């Protein structure tokens, strides 16, 4: 892990990963962040690393084969961490084609570039030899497994049974990653993590949306009966798990990552209202999301037993810190909600 290509690093988890990696890892020589800056990409999330000499931002699309190939030639990456994606289930319901294009074709473009650059005999279709130490890591989601009933956990062997256009596109991408390993021997890993929370999450997702509305005294839209369950993990623990897989993962393997923090949506909403000292009368039960998965819960025993990863941040501490972060950064929230953050790129990089 010396020369990294990180995609989607201006988004929520990617930005947390880049900050953590550059803060903690002196072995990193170069970290290139390739991001299209869609509505979800915000360069303000990377202000703490902007002056780091090892960090380079490239504004571009993971589906752009010429660009991705040129970056591999220029920077000679040994590691790819692929975060870039369309990531919101509700948006996937109204615009499924975009999810298929970004999430599946974007992944395949990166796989092709990695294979072409890393294979020691690139013209030999039977060769399975790669340069020492290279790895392609696909950041996936527990949602590819579909929904659980009241009991049970998703293991790495659970059937792939996605229910939303988002999760179907992530599953499609995972299957391409698997195929490149099985057919070409590409050294890959897939990580499937549960719902993340923490700083820099776009306020379209449950926790930052509810925080923002509660602060402003606006109604809190809870889908259906609010009894859907998610397994919450602080983003810093997700990033630590990705690093553990990069460092010690067995190539070709899938690793599930979860917090063991199952919470019903309505309980999260009530907790936020309580922490902010706001009334539960702000809660509005609204029409349910079509195809809404009832419950997700992750069995993380494999990554714990084989790679020694365990979550370091409890749900309670993580929520307290996350709420404090949003309250301490009203400017960030305001610029995101107003759309002003979109101008940041031209202000920072205009003319360059």
Interface with ligand NAD by CB under 6 A: which residues? Answer: 7-8, 10-14, 34-38, 40-41, 61-63, 83-85, 87, 102, 106, 139, 141, 170, 193, 195-196, 202
With H, G, I as helix, E, B as strand and everything else as coil, classify residue 32. Answer: strand
- 55 classed as catalytic: no
Find the binder of ligand TYD among 34, 222, 242, 323 (CB under 6 A). 222
Residue number with the smallest Cβ distance to ligand NAD: 11
**DSSP β-ladder status, 79-82 and 55-59:** unpaired
Quote the least distance from Cβ 96 to ligand TYD, whole Å.
15
Q: Could you tell me if 245 and 137 are in contact, meaning their C-beta atoms sit under 8 angstroms apart? A: yes
| Partner interacting with residue 344 (select from ligand TYD, ligand NAD, none; CB below 5-8 Å by kind) | none
User: How do strand 220-223 and strand 196-197 relate by DSSP bridges?
Assistant: unpaired
- Of these partners, ligand NAD, ligand TYD, none, which one is at the site of residue 106 (CB under 5 to 8 Å by kind)? ligand NAD
Q: Tell which one of 67, 98, 179, 209 touches ligand TYD (CB under 6 A).
A: 209
Q: Does the footprint of ligand TYD cover residue 230 (CB under 6 A)? A: yes
Rg (CA), the chain: 20
CB nearer to ligand TYD: pick between 63 and 295: 295
In the residue annotation, 340 being an active-site residue is answered as: no
Determine contact, residues 189/249, Cβ cutoff 8 Å: yes
Which one of 5-13, 98-106, 176-184, 201-209 is the stretch in contact with ligand TYD (CB under 6 A)?
Answer: 201-209
Residue 160's CB: how many other CB atoms inside 10 A? 16
Judged by DSSP in three states, 154 sits in: strand
- Residue 157 a catalytic site member: no
Tell me the two tokens of residue 62. Answer: 């993971």
Among ligand NAD, ligand TYD, none, partner that 295 touches (CB below 5 to 8 angstroms by kind)? none
Helix 206-216 × helix 330-338 angle, to 10°: 100
What angle, rounded to 10 degrees, do the helices at 12-24 and 235-248 form? 60
Closer to ligand TYD by Cβ: residue 181 or 205: 205
Distance CA 156, CA 175 (A): 13
Residues numbered 156 to 195 that lie near ligand TYD (CB under 6 A) are 195
Nearest to 136 by CA among 188, 73, 71: 188
Number of Cβ atoms within 10 Å of the Cβ of 252? 15
76-95 positions binding ligand TYD, by CB under 6 A: 89
- Catalytic annotation, pick one of 44, 78, 142, 262: 142
* 61, interface contact from ligand TYD, ligand NAD, none, CB < 5-8 Å by kind: ligand NAD
- Show which residues are catalytic: 142-143, 166
Residues lying near ligand TYD in the complex (CB under 6 A) are found at 89, 195, 205-206, 209, 221-223, 228, 230, 265, 289
């Amino acid at each position: 892990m010396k020369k990294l290509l990180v995609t989607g690093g201006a988004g929520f988890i990617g930005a947390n990963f880049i900050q953590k990696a550059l803060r903690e890892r002196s072995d990193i020589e170069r970290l290139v962040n390739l991001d299209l800056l869609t509505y979800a990409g915000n360069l303000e999330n990377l202000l703490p690393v902007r002056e780091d000499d090892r960090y380079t931002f490239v504004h571009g699309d993971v589906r752009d084969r010429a660009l991705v190939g040129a970056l591999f030639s220029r920077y000679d990456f040994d590691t790819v961490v692929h975060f870039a994606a369309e990531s919101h289930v509700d948006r996937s319901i109204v615009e499924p084609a975009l999810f298929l294009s970004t999430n599946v074709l974007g992944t395949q473009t990166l796989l092709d570039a990695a294979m072409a650059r890393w294979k020691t005999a690139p013209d030999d279709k039977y060769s399975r030899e790669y340069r020492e130490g290279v790895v392609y890591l696909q950041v996936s989601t527990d949602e590819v497994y579909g929904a659980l009933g009241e009991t049970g956990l998703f293991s790495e062997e659970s059937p792939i049974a996605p229910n939303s256009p988002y999760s179907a596109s992530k599953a499609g991408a995972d299957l391409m990653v698997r195929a490149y390993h099985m057919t070409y021997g590409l050294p890959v890993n897939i990580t499937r993590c549960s719902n993340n929370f923490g700083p820099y999450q776009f306020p379209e997702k449950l926790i930052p949306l509810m925080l923002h509305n509660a602060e402003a005294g606006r109604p809190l839209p809870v889908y259906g009966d609010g009894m859907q369950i998610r397994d919450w993990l602080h983003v810093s623990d997700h990033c630590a798990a990705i690093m553990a897989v990069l460092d010690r993962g067995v190539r070709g393997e899938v690793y599930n990552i979860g917090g063991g923090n199952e919470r019903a949506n309505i309980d999260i909403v009530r907790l936020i209202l309580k922490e902010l000292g706001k009334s539960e009368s702000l809660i509005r039960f609204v029409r349910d999301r079509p195809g809404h998965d009832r419950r997700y819960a992750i069995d993380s025993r494999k990554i714990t037993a084989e790679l020694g990863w365990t979550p370091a941040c409890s749900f309670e501490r993580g929520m307290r810190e996350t709420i404090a972060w949003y309250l301490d950064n009203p400017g960030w929230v305001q610029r995101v909600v107003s759309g002003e953050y979109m101008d940041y790129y031209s202000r920072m990089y205009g003319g360059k």
